[in-house]
Homo-oligomer: A and B are copies of this chain.
Amino acid sequence: MTDAEKATAPSRRALIGWGGAGLALGAAAAGGAVAMTRTGDDIEPTAAEAGAAVEFHGTHQAGIATPVQDRLHFAAFDVTTEDRAEFVQMLKDWTAAARRMAAGKAVGEGAYGGLAEAPPDDTGEALGLKPSRLTLTIGFGPSLFEKFDLADRRPEALVDLPQFAGDNLDRNRSGGDLCVQACADDPQVAVHAIRNLARIGFGKVVIKWSQLGFGKTSSTTPDAQTPRNLLGFKDGTRNIAGTETDRLKKFVWADSAKDAKDAPWMNGGSYLVARRIRMHIETWDRTSLQEQEDIIGRDKGEGAPVGKAKERDKPFLPAMKPDAHVRLAHPDSNHGATILRRGYSFTDGTDGLGRLEAGLFFLAYQKDVREGFIRIQRHLATDALNEYIQHVGSAVFAVPPGVRDKDDWWGSTLFSKEA
């Protein structure tokens, strides 16, 4: 054991995974840790479990159906190299680093036992911290398929998002050739992961934009307390749970066998829409309670739908105002359209007018963007909430399937010649 490994050894904990995602063998091979796969009606992780490691390998990438962690660092990158082999090597290097970081280890063997004359393999700020359920999830943007002779491999489902009513997009906070979503219960662990990937990618990719999120707004854990967004309302009451295998299969996982329009290399993957939604919270805070509740379609304290007593009572949509947010966004108003939400609240200081630069960094996974986010967002054109929010950043990514084992790497199905 190197010193660095000794330093992180006490941090390694039992591995947690949902039934379909945890691969005990891969875990044992990769990290030497005890694998503990949980299935069925899971509850919110306990404090002890919050420090544990999430299995990196699996059919699907971790960070989608994984119980939502507390913090986010999301980064969009642009490719700067024109050398396909160099880019593929970087993806392999990223995968190796991600595999180690997810297990709570420093990047590289012997990070501080190495040469004093060389930069350390790891930047160090996560040394001694727990794995903190870190997940790293990679996605490929439409613009990547204009490079490296990938044009004919772009999935049909990876459409460019149309302009929506009210969009006021900042190009400097939109798009990107690829993205990495880092989620963890400790923000320092998430920030450390993005920083080290950016460091490894130096000369091959450059960060285009990034976003920190401090509070999850949607849970994927059934029966857990529903988090509140910065409007002060519960958000994501009927989100897709990581345990709902049928709904995940129907709405989230790409599957070309059942859906010929999708690319075979995406089987087991998903499509991610990221939207930076600024909230005009000062205006919202001066709105009456009644108006706030009318706009959302739920009461603020309990979160019950209009006319109902409890948060999880089935909403009766006709009881809500025609432009209520919950009514317009509900699957019943959108031909059943359902997306897995994984958004985070953000506060990025203050704007030039002394208002908090705050809102929701919306992240949603779906099998097909056209039948998911686009359908719902079009329907939200008349949303009463639009007076208080504005979409200021936007990106869409094809999220490839999981890394199968220790020899596999991010994007192998896209870049291999056979698939």
- Which chain A residues have a beta carbon within 8 Å of chain B's beta carbons? 3-4, 7, 47-48, 71, 73, 75, 78, 112, 114-120, 122-128, 172, 187-188, 191, 194-195, 198-199, 202, 206-212, 214-215, 225, 228-233, 281-282, 285-290, 292-293, 299-302, 345, 347-350, 352, 354-356, 358
Contacts and interface: CB of A to CB of B under 8 A. Distances in A.
A114 B293 CA distance: 14
A127 B118 CA distance: 50
A120 B301 CA distance: 11
A125 B289 contact: no
Contact of A211 (B47, B117, B288, B349): B349
A233 B207 CA distance: 24
A256 to B, nearest CB: 35
B350 A210 contact: yes
Contacts of A211: 349
Contacts of A292: 120
Contacts of A207: 350, 354-356
- How often does this chain occur in the complex, in copies? 2
A350 B355 CA distance: 21
A394 to B, nearest CB: 16
A202 B356 CA distance: 13
A160 to B, nearest CB: 23
A59 B408 CA distance: 60
Contact of A285 (B119, B282, B288, B300): B119
A60 to B, nearest CB: 28
Contact of A125 (B120, B194, B230): B230
A301 B3 contact: yes
B349 A229 contact: no
A102 to B, nearest CB: 19
